[in-house]
Structure 1
C-alpha cells in the first residue's frame, strides 16, 4: 500500500509538472511511478495471490428475495419515480442511499458465506426409531472477517424429498475468524437401511434480510441404520418360549448342584426341587453348574413370498413386506438378547455367516447385515435349509416370514422356528 501510494503521488506530480511545461521532470516522475507500480505487480501481487483462497470465488451463490426485500424494492421504485418526476436532488440522494444499502447487503452476505467449510459427524452405531445425536461443525477459514447468521440445511435433489439425515436446519448466529463452531443435532431415523445425503446448503440473510443467499456444499454423507432393538410384541411373546427351548438344550449338562431358588414362569418343571418345595410351601427349583456355555445358531430366512410375487406377478403385497420387516426386527431383538446374555452365538443367513463366538464379538456385524438385508424369492433348491439340516449339533433359532409346513422334519428336530404370521386386526 505504501509503494502504490508513492506511485500515485508521483503520477500526480508528473501531471502537475506537465501542466507547468516541465516536460523532463514530468517524464521522470511518470517513469518512476510506472517503475514502482511494475515492481509491485511483479513481486507483491503473486505472493498475495498465492495466499488468497481463490476457490471461494468459484462458489455458486443462490439468490432469493425475501418478503421484506420485495417491500423494500417497492419503496425503492416509488422513490425512483418521485425523483425522476420532480428532479429533486434530495430524492436522488435518498435513492442513492437506498441502492447503496442493497449493494452493501449483497457484499456483506457474500463475505459471510465465503470461506466457510462444513463437517457432519454421525454416531458409529445408529438404531432405527431411537434418537441419536449428530454433530454439525462449521469452520471459518477467513483470515480477518467473521461470519454472521448462518443456517445449514439439507438439499433436495431434483425435486426429491430431503433426506432424513438432517431434517431440521441448524443455526449458527456468529462464527469468529479462523474458528470452528459445533452444534449437537438430534436425529431420528424411522426405518432400517442406508440413508444418503449428497449435499447441504449454507444460507444467510445477513445483514438486513432483504436477500437470502445460499451456497451449496457437496458433502456426501451416508448413515447405516440398524433395525430397532426395542422389544416388539412378537419378541415379548416368543421370549419365554425361547428361553425354555434354549434351557432344554443347555440345562442339565452339569452334574453339580449350584443352589436352590424360587420358581419363575420360564423354568422347566423338571428342575423343581420337591423336598425344598414341601418345606417352604412354594415352588423351588434347582440350579446346576454349567460345564459349557449355551451355543445358539440364529438364522434369518430371507426368502419371502413377497419377493416371489414381485419377480413374477408385479408389486408385492404390503402385508407380506411388513411380515418380512417384522421378521428382521425380531431377529435383531433375539440377537441383542443373546448379546446382553453373552451367549456363544452364530448367525447365518443366505450368503452371510459368522463363526461361533461370544455374541459381543460380532453383534454389530449381524446388525449391519440386518440393516441392509432384502427379501429374496423362494429358492427351489433350498440351499439354506440344506445347510441347516447338516448342522444338527447346534440348537437353531430360525426366524422366517414363510408359511408353516415349509421346513423338513430334520430341521424341526433341532430347531425352534418362529413364523411371522399376518397380524390380526
Structure 2
C-alpha cells in the first residue's frame, strides 16, 4: 500500500514536470547545442589541418565553424531569450554584514596573514574553506528568500486600544526547496534600523567635535525635539513587531494570526514589507523588499466613559419613547411582553382572546435624534512657556471619542440617528446603517482653529429634533432655545480615559 502511494506520488511529480516543460524551447536548445558541438569539432579539425599545412581544408573547417556559431547566435539565442523568465534578475536583495560576520572576516584576515608569513598549506586550505562558507552563506540566503510570497489580511473595522485580529500568509512557491528562518517586518522598521545604524556612525565623530546641546526654555533639548519629530511617522505603521517564520515548507503556505492594537485613531499605513534572513550561518543578513502597500483606518475608541454613564439615564428616556413611537394612530395589536407598559393594554382584545394584548402605534418620524460635533477649539497657545498648549487638542480628542461612544451606543440600541459636523452630514436613518460612516469621519476629523463663540444649532429649520452637542463654546454663549431642546457636552467637562493619547 505504502509502495503504491510512493510510486503514484513520483508519477504525479514526473507528470507535473512534463506538463511544465517547455518542449519547443528545449528542442531549440538541443539543436543549438548540437550545432555548437559540430562547430567545435570543425574548429579542432581546422587546427589539425593547419598543423599539417592543408590550407584549403583549414579554411573550409574554420568557415563552417564560424557559420554554425553565427547561425546559433542569430536564430537560437533570441528565440530562447524571449522564452526565458527574467523576473529573478529584477529582484533587489539588500545585504548587511552582521556582528558575527565581521568577526568571521577578521578571523579570515588573521589566517591569511599567518598563511603568507608561514607558507603553511594547511592554513591555505582552512582559508579556502572559510571563504567558501561565506560564499555558500550568500547563495543559500538568496535561495531562501526567492519564490516567497506574502499576503496580509487586515480586518475591515478596527478600533483604537482594542485588539484586532489579522492573518499573515507566507507562501513558498519553490517546488522542492523549503525556506528557513525568515523574519517579516514593515518597511518603516527596516528604514528605522538603517537610520539608527547610520546615525551611530555619524554621531561618533560629531559628539567629540560639538558639545551637548543646551536645554531650551520649554525644558527639552533640540536633539530630543528632533527625535520627537520622527515619532509620529514611526508610530503610524501597521506591523509594529517583526514576525519570525522558522520554516516554510516547499510548495506550501504558513499562516500566522497576530493581534494588532493601535493607541489612537487615524490613518495607519505600510509603504512596503521586508523579508530578511540570516540563514545558514548568520554572517550576512539579506533583506528582500516587497512592494506591498497597506493602509488601515483606525476608528476612535468606543469604550463607555464616566460622562457617558452620567447622561445615559436621560438619553435612555428619550430613546425609549422615540423607539416605541410617539404617534396616536394604531399600528397593530399583539401579545403583551414583559417589557411593555400596562397603559398600552387593549382590554377588549384581551377579554376576547383570553390573553393580554397591547396596542402598538405608528412612529412619528418628525422627532429625530441628532449628534453634533463642534470641531472649533480656537487657536493653540503659542510660546515655549505655555503649559496649556496641548490642552485644546486633548479636549478635542476626548470629545471625538465621546461622540464615537455615543454613536456606538445608538447603534447597539438600533436608534434613529443623524450625525452632523460642519459640512459633513449623514442622513437620518437607523444607526446601524450609518455607524461606520460616522466612525470613518471621526477617525479622520481634525480640530479647527476658529474660535467657538457659540455652539452649533444643527440643521436650520428643524425644530422637532433632540440634539446632543459636543462643543468647546463657553457656557454663557448658549441660547435659551437651544438649552430647551438639546443636551450640551462641553469639552472642558470631559476627562481622559486610560491609555488615551493625542496625535502630534
TM-score after normalising by structure 2: 0.69
Question: What is the CA-CA distance between 1:394 and the residue it aligns to?
Answer: 1.2
Note the alpha carbon deviations across 1:269-296, whole angstroms, 9 max, x for none: xx898xxxxxxxxxxxxx9745317731
SS in 1 for 2:182: strand
Correspondence 1:412 to 2:483: yes
* Residue pairs, 1:2-401, within 5 angstroms: 2=30, 3-4=32-33, 7-8=36-37, 11=40, 14-15=43-44, 18-19=47-48, 21=51, 30-31=62-63, 33-140=65-172, 146-156=178-188, 159=195, 160=230, 161=234, 163-175=236-248, 180-247=253-320, 253=326, 289-292=360-363, 295-305=368-378, 307=379, 309=381, 317-378=389-450, 385-388=456-459, 390-401=461-472
Determine the C-alpha separation between the residues in 2 that align with 1:33 and 1:54. 30
Q: Does the CA-based 8 Å contact 2:452-2:472 persist in structure 1?
A: no
Instruction: State the partner residue of 1:281.
Output: none
d(CA) in 1 for partners of 2:136 and 2:326?
Answer: 83
User: Aligned in 2, Cα 1:16/1:103: closer, same or farther, shift over 3 Å?
Assistant: farther
Q: Aligned with 2:125: secondary structure?
A: helix
Instruction: Name whichever of 360-369 and 79-88 sits farther off.
Output: 79-88
Would you say the 8 A contact 1:254–1:289 is kept in 2? no
Match of 1:282 in 2: none
Instruction: Return the offset for 1:364.
Output: 0.4
SS of 1:149 mapped into structure 2:
strand
Counterpart of 1:90 in 2: which secondary structure?
helix
| Higher helix residue share | 2
Taking structure 1 as reference, are residues 380 and 242 closer, same or farther at Cα in structure 2, changes over 3 Å only? closer
Alpha-carbon deviation of 1:409? 1.6
- Aligned counterparts of 1:91 and 1:28: Cα–Cα separation in 2: 53
CA contact under 8 A between 1:226 and 1:367: conserved in structure 2? yes
1:56, 1:115 within 8 Å by CA — same for their partners in 2? no
C-alpha distance in 2 between matches for 1:149 and 1:46: 39
> What does residue 25 of structure 2 align with?
none
- Rate the CA distance shift 1:308–1:195 in 2: closer, same or farther, 3 A: same
Of 170-179 and 396-405, deviating more is 170-179
Deviations, residues 112-146 of structure 1 (Å, cap 9, x unaligned): 33444434332111111111122334455567755
In the TM superposition, what whole-angstrom CA distance separates every residue of 1:6-33 from its partner, at most 9, and x where no partner exists? 7357526743662473556665555555
Q: What's the offset of the Cα at 1:323? A: 1.5
Give the equivalent residue in structure 2 for 1:283: none
**Count of matched residue positions in the alignment of Structure 1 and Structure 2:** 402
Q: Structure 1: which 5+ residue stretches go unaligned?
A: 264-270, 274-286
Compare 243-252 and 182-191 and name the one that shifted more: 243-252
CA contact (8 A) 1:347 1:353 kept: yes
SS at match of 1:405: helix
Between stretches 177-186 and 65-74, larger displacement belongs to 177-186
- Alignment RMSD: 3.6
For residues 186-207 of structure 1, what are the alpha-carbon distances to aligned partners after superposition, in whole Å with 9 as ceiling and x for unaligned?
2111100111221322211122
SS of 1:243's equivalent in the other structure is helix
Which residue pairs with 2:7 in the alignment? none
Q: Extract unaligned runs of 5+ from structure 2.
A: 1-28, 196-229, 344-357, 498-504
Q: Which moved more, 1:151-160 or 1:370-379?
A: 151-160
2 CA distance for matches of 1:327 and 1:13? 89
Once the two structures are overlaid, the 10-residue window that deviates more, 395-404 or 48-57, is 48-57
Of Structure 1 and Structure 2, which has the larger fraction of its residues in strand? 1
